Structure 1
Amino acid sequence: MENLSKNIKHLRTLKKLTQEALAEELSVTRSRISSYEENRSSPTIEFLIDFSKYFKLPIDIIVKNDLTKAKDVSFIEVGNKRVLFPIAIDDNNENLIEVVPAKASAGYLLGYDDPEYIEQLEKIKLPFLPTGKHRAFPIKGDSMLPMKDGSYLVAEFIENIKEAKSGYSYIVVTKDDGMTYKRLENLVDEKQSFLLKPDNTSYQPYEVPVSEILELWKFTCSINTQEYEEHELKLSSIINMFNELGVELEALKKSIG
């Protein structure tokens, strides 16, 4: 239960609450908060339920994960609950972009909400990107021509999936189908679903209920790998391509300015 005691203290600190203040909010004594944080006793189920409701975090996240590296921005609202969303930052407190390798993309469905999985992904920084949380994904298949199999897409995380805009392209992560890249039509108001439309007319559109969608990422930019030989497409090569792209565009921006 060591993680739990550290998490109670860390979450309290994130909210800038004293032990006395948190005790008052949860209708317990300060000494109980102190004993839980110092791991001298284990929290009761009743306390965990109240603590979970107060911080709007599922109990399993509080109990299972080490949250001491998480900042307040590491949690996102999903309905009336918050879930842990790992965000990597560099020494200058700037967001880093995790790159999901093609060979491991199938595992993303299992690890997308696991801080340890996200932490082990290679990371890059593209200074020309707009504000927001971005991630780079490999593309499989030819349903979204001219994007071809092997391309990498950088996409921005969408917190409220119901606000996705019709006519734009998104990386869609679903419970059953995993990760796919499609153009969306927002049918939430009428049907509580999205219509996923391939740009390649050889493929048929299909509907996905909102309840099936785990994550939604809006397309920002891409890198086409079709001019490279297969042996050149190691993850390290992909990382270099993105980094070189960032340097070139940053230099262009400065020259125009």
Structure 2
Amino acid sequence: MSLYSENIKYLRIKKDVSQQVVADSVGIPRPRYAKYEDGKNFPPPETLMALSRYFAMSIDLLLSVDVRKIPVGDLLKLENNRVLLPITVDSYGNNLIEVVTQKAKAGYLSGYADPEYIESLQQISLPFLGPGKHRGFPVEGDSMPPHEDGSIIVGRYIEKLGDVLDGKTYIVITKDNGIIYKRLNKNGKNSLMLNSDNTFYEPYEVKASDILEIWEYECNIGRTDRKSDFSTDNLTSLMMEMRQELREVKAKINT
């Protein structure tokens, strides 16, 4: 039997319902559903989605995690079962924040929906953040000053693309580019425009279908007290000059 078949069988028994009840609820014949539990067949996408909604369990978890090992009561259920996030608290009842370190960053794309992976991350508590699900992510590069390499951006989980506010900064988890920290603007219903505060970097578009998670900026955990060598005006001017020089070089190359 596959992990998926084991999972749906376990969830059905946990709900204390028959195969017929599940089959009727998702609109398929009972013999067909029985083959899914036996591991003889695998459901098509529309049935997979229907079973995910029925069992209130994300498709990611149904396919990749042994749900018998998950404390279901400690999971946060989100709209349309898109993701289920584990929530843990400290001895004072404060929500613990998982921190995705540089070392753990490489595995986040494959482990973001796996409770066992999330539990393996380092955890901190920041009671002043208030309600919501929070997580910390590392910053790379110089595209979003004053945040530097080694800083951690703590974000609050955003359930829907429509909740994104133009001009605010967010951690965006994408299939192709991984973990990105940018200032966002909605670019129609099915995409976002990602902008860097460092004007040296050009904005670019990300389609909604490429987005796995969005976390709204809440606070920054920095590691440096270095004084900036430039004023904001001087830095912007320098970046503009460098961009112009690069354009001139590209123009010469193309002629």
Q: TM-score, normalised by structure 2?
A: 0.68
Shift of 1:83: 3.8
Q: Are residues 11 and 188 of structure 1, via their aligned partners in 2, closer, same or farther at CA, if it must alter by over 3 Å?
A: farther
Greater C-alpha Rg: 2
Q: Percent identity?
A: 40
Q: Are residues 208 and 62 of structure 1, via their aligned partners in 2, closer, same or farther at CA, if it must alter by over 3 Å?
A: closer
Match of 1:71 in 2: 72
Shift of 1:174: 1.2
Match of 1:89 in 2: 88
Tell me if structure 1 keeps the 8 A contact 2:61–2:113.
no
Q: Which residue among 50, 53, 77 is the counterpart of 1:53?
A: 50
Matches within 5 A, 1:1-257: 1=1, 7-8=7-8, 11-12=11-12, 17-19=15-17, 23-27=20-24, 42=38, 45=41, 53-56=50-53, 57=57, 61-68=61-68, 69-71=70-72, 73-77=75-79, 82-90=81-89, 95-189=95-189, 192-227=190-225
Report the 3-state secondary structure (helix = DSSP H, G, I; strand = E; otherwise coil) of the residue aligned with 1:19: coil
Segments of 5+ residues of structure 2 without an aligned counterpart are 227-255
Match of 2:234 in 1: none
Tell me if structure 2 keeps the 8 A contact 1:97–1:125.
yes
Tell me if structure 1 keeps the 8 A contact 2:133–2:156.
yes
Shift of 1:132: 0.9
Which segment is superposed worse, 122-131 or 102-111? 102-111
How many pairs were matched up? 211
Shift of 1:8: 3.8
Report the 3-state secondary structure (helix = DSSP H, G, I; strand = E; otherwise coil) of the residue aligned with 1:26: helix
Q: Are residues 145 and 164 of structure 1, via their aligned partners in 2, closer, same or farther at CA, if it must alter by over 3 Å?
A: same
- Identify which of structures 1 and 2 has the higher relative contact order when contacts are C-alpha pairs closer than 8 Å and 6+ apart: 1
Q: Distance in 2 between matches of 1:51 and 1:172?
A: 26
Q: How big is the alpha-carbon RMSD for the aligned residues of Structure 1 and Structure 2?
A: 3.3
Q: Distance in 1 between matches of 2:116 and 2:195?
A: 33
Q: Are residues 8 and 174 of structure 1, via their aligned partners in 2, closer, same or farther at CA, if it must alter by over 3 Å?
A: closer
Segments of 5+ residues of structure 1 without an aligned counterpart are 37-41, 229-257
Q: Are residues 46 and 153 of structure 1, via their aligned partners in 2, closer, same or farther at CA, if it must alter by over 3 Å?
A: closer
Q: Distance in 1 between matches of 2:42 and 2:85?
A: 28
Tell me if structure 2 keeps the 8 A contact 1:144–1:199.
yes
